[in-house]
Amino acid sequence: MDELIPKESKTIAAVRAKRLSERLSEARKSIKLKEVWWNTPFIEWVSLLLIFILNAFMVFPFHDFPAIENTFSGPVIPLIGKAISRFGVEYLISLQIVNIFFLTLLPITFYFFVKVVSKRKLIALLSSLILILPYHPFLKARVDASVFGIDAAHIVGLTIIPFALSNLFSFIRSGGYSHLVFAAISSATVALTTPFGFLTYLIIAGILAFSEVLLGSGRLKFTRALVVFLFAGGLISFWYNPAFFFWMLTGPLGEDIRYTISRVIPLSFFTLPVIGTFGYVLFDRKPTLQPVFISSFFLITFVLISVAGGGIFPSHSSRYVYELGLSVALIVSLIFVKLVDFGRINQKLNFKIIPKNVLLNFVTVGFVIFLIVITVTERNSFTLEETQVLGTWDEVEKGDIWKAKEGFSGAHSFLGYTITAITCAALVIMRKFTSQKKIA
């Protein structure tokens, strides 16, 4: 009778785990790139320097103009602006410096996010270059919102979001105390910069978590995502205390969010079951297709939200159009690289005049040069349409959320500070318990 009982190594769970491990190993081998000269760390840093210089070249002309008088819901931007103004810089100019800095930094943080998700430097490079194009919904949309508009906090938060998502993705995938700390702190920083941007972060984080759950160990990875959100919520409780946070969602300040959700929910009844089934059938336990899943769901989600929230085009744009620009940059780069990879492995595709690999390399380099040339040559059309001379103001202009927060002081504020203190203490204590072993 005992002979009929399968050994532990022969159980369905064990066989399935072994099969998954073999698939992951094969996937890593299939996407492993040959260490050629253009795939070295030196070339990567040169590429990052190129991205930074190109983007700075596009946005630097705006640094001398004072920022549009704006309101803030979180303390991050006003604190940085005040710190810069201590050096004798006019406050509105210091805010513009903050705007320009984060505008310049966004393609860099997005590069590392795409690299973590796709494991391909070329996809990350192309995504960042597309993001700098002076068109809508790319750089032009972000400059209009940050330099000319009143949505600067959203764009600053958009720069921090890829960094937060990279750490969240790493923690969901492999655990680790450092990943948890960086993910929690960066997520909290997004919320303290812009509550609206934090909502965007949660949407993308949900897509990333779902993509990892499809690869196996779903409960563990889902729990890891919740742990990050729990710690992030604790870290921001000193600002968004529980009573104020609940009122912010249910009160008049949450009207825009509730309106967008009311537009999205009817669409979700039809699209989510179809998209969810589509994702499960095509991407379940297929690690090589994970970047395709993330980029396609990223695009579909923000197309639907942008349409529901006010439109995609400049004349009828929504606040989600900047995230839509990121998703378009990602999926265009992914499609281009996948087509090049297909050309390399397709034995039927051969050319007598020029070797196939040489031609594909030429096409890839040509596409990179094309993006750079288009960006540089179109810079002249990317100028200020009108300049307003703004007065100097000495104090931080508080937004509606900030003003409403002041009504939740006293015991509510004390509770928020206590939660933040307990969260910080928990992270420190956790470090001692995990100094010798990795977090699950």
**Any idea where the domains of the chain sit in the sequence?**
57-344+351-386+398-435
Neighbour-count burial for 290-302, b at 16+ CB within 10 Å, e otherwise = bbbbbbbbbbbbb
DSSP string, 145-173: HHTSSS-HHHHHHHHHHHHHHHHHHHHHH
**Beta strands, E only, 337-381:** none
C-alpha–C-alpha distance, residues 192 and 76, integer Å: 6
217: left (phi over 0), alpha (psi -120 to 50) or beta: left
Helix (H, G, I), strand (E, B) or coil at 72: strand
**For the chain, which residues score pLDDT lower than 70?**
1-38, 244-276, 278-283, 308-317, 351-352, 382-414, 433-440
Name the CA dihedral angle for 187, 192, 197, 203, rounded to a multiple of 10 degrees: 40
H helix intervals, 86-217: 91-118, 121-131, 139-146, 152-174, 177-193, 195-213
C-alpha–C-alpha distance, residues 236 and 234, integer Å: 6
Q: Which amino acid is at 428?
A: V
Closest residue by Cα to residue 151 from 49, 63, 73, 211: 73
Q: Which amino acid is at 243?
A: A
Residues 268-291 pLDDT 10s: 666 666 666 766 666 677 788 888
C-alpha–C-alpha distance, residues 31 and 122, integer Å: 13
C-alpha–C-alpha distance, residues 155 and 148, integer Å: 12
What does each C-alpha distance from 369 to 39, 45, 50 come to in angstroms? 17, 17, 12
C-alpha–C-alpha distance, residues 94 and 161, integer Å: 22
Q: What contacts 39, CB < 8 A, 6 or more positions away?
A: 33, 121
What does each C-alpha distance from 137 to 117, 149, 329, 339, 376 come to in angstroms? 22, 15, 10, 24, 17
C-alpha–C-alpha distance, residues 109 and 114, integer Å: 9
Under a CB-based contact definition with an 8 Å cutoff, are residues 405 and 239 in contact?
Answer: yes
Question: What pLDDT score was predicted for residue 330?
Answer: 95
C-alpha–C-alpha distance, residues 393 and 111, integer Å: 36
Question: What pLDDT score was predicted for residue 257?
Answer: 59
Under a CB-based contact definition with an 8 Å cutoff, are residues 225 and 186 in contact?
Answer: no
C-alpha–C-alpha distance, residues 100 and 62, integer Å: 8
Q: What contacts 66, CB < 8 A, 6 or more positions away?
A: 90, 92, 93, 95, 96, 389, 390
C-alpha–C-alpha distance, residues 359 and 361, integer Å: 5
Closest residue by Cα to residue 155 from 138, 167, 133, 169: 138
Among positive and negative, which fits the CA dihedral 330, 335, 341, 345? positive
